[in-house]
Structure 1
Amino acid sequence: MKVTVTGSLGNISGILTEKLVNAGHDVYVISSRQERIREIKALGATTLVGRLDDEHFINNAFKNSDAVYTMVPPSYGTAAEIKKVGDVYVKAVKENSVPYVVNLSGIGSHLPDGPGPAGANYHNEKQFDSIDGTSVLHLRPGLFYSNFYGSADMIRQQHIIGNNFGGNIILPLSHPHDIAQVAFEALHHRNFSKKGSLYVVSDEITGKEIAETLGKAINIPDLRWVEFPDQQLLESLLKQGMSPEMAHTYIIDMGVALREGVLLRAYFKESQRVLPGATGFKKFADEFAKILF
């Protein structure tokens, strides 16, 4: 089976590509960087180099695909850019009559005017769902475990970790490996039909519990969760080199929605939320300690 994977060798797409190749599929990986060609070839896949918002390129990339995995990288940092890439994907799927699509969406994508990327994900889900004759599975992960790697310096130097929401909010979190596994199983077995969505959550844990668990793993027992004011967090993100648009889309606006309880209402109504056999946060904390401490 020919599978086209977007997202280059990112945290999810790289693992997914390796799993698909090992299962005997003919895998084509889309990357914007020429230097990725050697790494992708080493995995046994073929590289297609181009931009995700290039309609002609994506249309050609999806030709003769039995299935595609679609995602929009954070480098497309505004809701408008996320929608644009989604529209390009949808048009290419339609024109090539791709029978199966696994689409990486996100929690909150049930909200038409949702915060951060949620509203754009809502748009993209609806566009995919409008395609006749194509089975589509939208994966809705929680906040990525891997985001915590960006806090390593603050943890080391100040013994704090946090965001612009309080430490008592229950957060659905996802390990990229778990997301890749769910995507692989769906693409390999093609065990979904018509249109649907699936929450892909590895654990549910509060900010205070995150600080306690990471602190124990890295031997910083006084590590604590801090709720930063929106403006202070924004200024910190800008100093780190993040664009204002990306900072608002992926962090500030999402944090506001979390502390106001808007983002997760639909999620917490689900009876089966956490994946069976998923990577719990304690196991990730041990990974975090080995890699960075």
Structure 2
Amino acid sequence: MKIVLTGSLGNISKPLAQELITKGHEVTIISHHADKQQQIEALGAQAAIGSVEDAAFLTIAFEGADAAYCMTPPNFAATDMIGYYRNTALAYAEAAKRAGVKHVVYLSSYGAHLEKGTGIIVGSHQAEGILNQLEGIAVSCLRPGYFYYNLYNFLGMIKDQGIIGTNFGGNDKLVMVSPLDIAAAAAEELSAAAPESKVRYIASDEHTCTEVAGMIGAAIGKPHLQWLTFTNEQVKDFMLSQGRPAVITNLLVELGAAIHSGLLRSDYEKHKPALGKVKLPEFIKEFAATYNKKN
């Protein structure tokens, strides 16, 4: 099969490309950065350099493809984050239709079943809606949980304050996922002989925030590490003091509140998948190694 991947050589797209190439598929990787071309070609893939917001470029890149893996690259410089998700999805939809792609696999998120109240994830909800309107194209929406590597955001706090803290914590449950398990699921969907439109949840492990803090603390020599729950206002004030734009801050605080209330995982709980292979303790080893390098 001829398969096009977005996401450049990121945490998901690189192992996804490697697996597909190993299985004999012809892979093209889209990247916004021309300096990635040599690395992409070294994997055995073709490189297409351009923007995923450019429908004309995407149409050319998608030409002749059987399937396309589409994701929305992080862009915290966007002044309208939800609009950015929507515009990217519109570009994907137009390109897939014009190029005759038969199967789109979209990287969405748990919580994307909700049209409001989930911060940035509202963008995934709207993107799913746009892609699901495509006629004659199977659309598989992947809904992974909380990425393990999001825990890296707390490295500085652990080092400087000896705690983890945000507007969710304590006994709040985290549905967590490894990029490698997402890549494995995406590979299954992309190479399906008879693709169908579906929603697929992806998770690797489930733990409370307190349990996560305990594992991290044990691994870095801080056995009493706690994951504290702050108010929305406290988190908002902290983010703003760090120079984060108000529009992004508000979305992130709303997202954290949805994790705290359980709203984000409400549909996931009704459609739980089999958990993936990469468990949290495996990631914690990587986290501890990174933490120790910074100390």
Is the Cα–Cα contact under 8 Å of residues 85 and 126 in structure 2 kept in the other structure?
no
Which deviations, in whole Å up to 9, do the C-alpha atoms of 1:145-185 show, x marking residues without a partner? 01111221222232211221231111111111110111112
Of all paired residues, the percent bearing the same amino acid is 37
Contact 1:74 1:246 in 2 (8 A): no
Q: Distance in 2 between matches of 1:201 and 1:248?
A: 26
CA distance in 1, matches of 2:162, 2:239: 18
Structure-1 separation of matches of 2:45 and 2:105? 18
Report the number of matched residues.
289
TM-score by length of structure 1 reads 0.92
Q: Distance in 1 between matches of 2:61 and 2:132?
A: 21
Q: Residue deviations 1:85-120, cap 9 Å, x none? A: 011101111112211111101011111224223322
SS of the residue aligned with 1:263?
helix
Structure 1 stretches (4+) deviating beyond 6 angstroms? none
* Partner residue in 2 for 1:129: 132
Distance of 1:114 and 1:98 partners within structure 2: 33
Q: In angstroms, what is the RMSD of aligned CA positions?
A: 1.9
Output the CA distance in 2 between the equivalents of 1:247 and 1:14: 30
Alpha-carbon distance between aligned partners in 1 of 2:239 and 2:42, rounded to the nearest angstrom: 35
Distance 1:292 1:192, change over 3 A: farther
* TM-score, normalised by the number of residues in structure 2: 0.91
Given that 1:108 and 1:114 are in contact with CA atoms closer than 8 Å, whether structure 2 keeps it comes out as no
Say whether residues 1:161 and 2:148 are aligned partners: no
Work out the CA distance in 2 between the residues paired with 1:150 and 1:259. Answer: 17
SS in 1 for 2:211: helix
CA displacement at 1:126 relative to structure 2: 2.1
Match of 1:216 in 2: 218
The superposition leaves residues 70-97 of structure 1 with CA deviations (integer Å, 9 ceiling, x where unpaired) of: 0001216511110110111011111122
- Residue identity matched to 1:144: F
Q: Distance in 1 between matches of 2:97 and 2:256?
A: 35
Name the CA distance, whole Å, in 1 between partners of 2:44 and 2:201: 30
Q: Which residue of 1 aligns with 2:260?
A: 259
User: Separation in 2 of the partners of 1:42 and 1:162?
Assistant: 41
Q: Aligned pair in 2 of structure 1 residues 190, 79: CA closer, same or farther (>3 Å)?
A: farther
Unaligned runs of 5+ in 1: none
Aligned partners of 1:204, 1:133: CA distance in 2, in Å? 36
**Conserved 8 A contact 1:159-1:222:** no
Offset of residue 15 of structure 1: 1.3
